[in-house]
Amino acid sequence: MGTSSDPGRSGRLAVRGARILDVRRGAWDDRSTVLIDGGRVAELMKGPPPDGIAVVDVPGSSLIPGLVDAHTHVLLQDTLDRSSLVSQMVEQNLGHRIATAVRAMHIALEHGFTTIRDLGTEGAGYTDVGLRDAAVEGIVAGPRMLVAGPAIRPTGRYPLPGQPHSGTFPVGIDSCSGVDACRDVVRTQVAHGVDWIKIYVSGGPLRRTDSGYPDGPAVFTEAEVGALVDEAHRQGLRIAAHAQCLTGTRMAIEAGVDSIEHGYAITPELARAMADRGVTLVATLLVGRESAARGWYGDEWVESAHQRSFQNCLEVGVPIALGTDVGGFGWTDISQAEELSIMVGLGQTPIDALRSATLVGARLVCPHGTGGELACGAWGDVVAVDGDPLADVSAVRNVRMVVQNGAVRFRREQATSAIEWGG
């Protein structure tokens, strides 16, 4: 990880490249320098900045806003390997999990992701709250984090792989049964300082319906899902639903969740309902690709349904935010930015994929923030990449430098790749 670089004595930093992406217009700005003051974008400039301002020059680069990954798990390291998942949750020392999480946070920055929404610690309690706060305080380097603590499951669901279905997670995932208990678990999580609530509304095994979309048991009742959503919103938090089956997806949308995670089973009818209600899709196509490669989808028809669901949402204007589910696949194996190429391959234009990774993602994960664009007053997050991502979105993977809150967090020329650390 490259060493952080603070702005000059003036508290201001100028980042200079070849051009600046205006994600709202979907075009390159004719200015080439982003001036950041107090951690926020102060001005876009054509000429050189005034004297006394620290300048970071990245010749020939395209300057884009810091990217947003709306579905991560920093406390997980490749859970597509079932034995690895059990080991991490049952056998691994919590300190070891925290250390690998800090490394994951570094890697996210190296990939250009200056903001992440971390959706579940899977047995590590509220450790994500501490990691979020440590990053804010500068104790560790990492993205801006919005965290969900332990995901919420129905009582008796989601056992450890290979363990009896009646078992419980040895080191903690929240569960509830009944309306009152569902409200109580949300209030408990609020007391621990989470930013988001995550619930599971789908259960396995998946079965193929006549329409070709997967369905499975309804794990919560409608009243329980309604109570979880209502209580989260009453407490001022947004709520994400892990939804891979028709029944659970429909129930979550009708209850008013803010985002559908994964979305294997979104028919045209459900896509229209999402568009009408402003529910965002976070499709996690990258982990889907890796799941298919390892046989986790079970059958090719599930992968096909997942992709068709994404396209159904695209056709009717559902807000789509980039999310990778990294931690499901290994942090050290794949750049999260590969998600953009998959999204384009399924029908998004490069600029719409970039908006999913910037404006749309920022609005979803931090609706009261000002991220996702390079404009006056926005977060001072700038990523310098080689190439033209409007022509070839894979150029986003060619990260040369990352600035977050007006400080240089990563420079390719000075960095030792986290992958080379061998962890």
**What ranges do the domains of the chain cover?**
12-65+372-421, 67-336
Residue 53 confidence (pLDDT)? 92
What single-letter DSSP state applies at residue 45?
E
CB 106 within 8 A of CB 421: no
**Closest by Cα among 19, 32, 95, 103 to 62:** 19
Residue 419 confidence (pLDDT)? 28
- Put simply, whether the predicted model's pTM sits higher than 0.85 gets the answer yes
Q: For residues 396 and 374, what is the distance between their CA atoms, to the nearest angstrom?
A: 16
Q: Which two tokens stand for residue 4?
A: 């952080």
Residue 347 confidence (pLDDT)? 98
Residue 163 confidence (pLDDT)? 58
Residue 1 confidence (pLDDT)? 36
What stretches in the chain show pLDDT beneath 70? 1-10, 156-172, 296-298, 414-423
Distances, alpha carbon 26 to alpha carbons 62, 316, 385, in Å: 14, 20, 17
Angle at 235 between CA 233 and CA 241, to 5 degrees: 45
Residue 164 confidence (pLDDT)? 56
Residue 299 confidence (pLDDT)? 73
Q: Where does 67-336 sit in CATH, by number?
A: 3.20.20.140
Place of tokens 């309604």: 226
Q: For residues 112 and 354, what is the distance between their CA atoms, to the nearest angstrom?
A: 12
Tens digit of each residue's pLDDT (9 = 90 or more) over 313-361? 999 999 999 999 999 999 998 999 999 999 999 999 999 999 999 999 9
What CATH topology corresponds to 12-65+372-421?
Urease, subunit C; domain 1 (2.30.40)
Arithmetic mean of pLDDT over the chain:
90
CB 65 within 8 A of CB 372: yes
- For residue 10, the number of C-alpha atoms closer than 13 Å in the C-beta half-sphere is 13
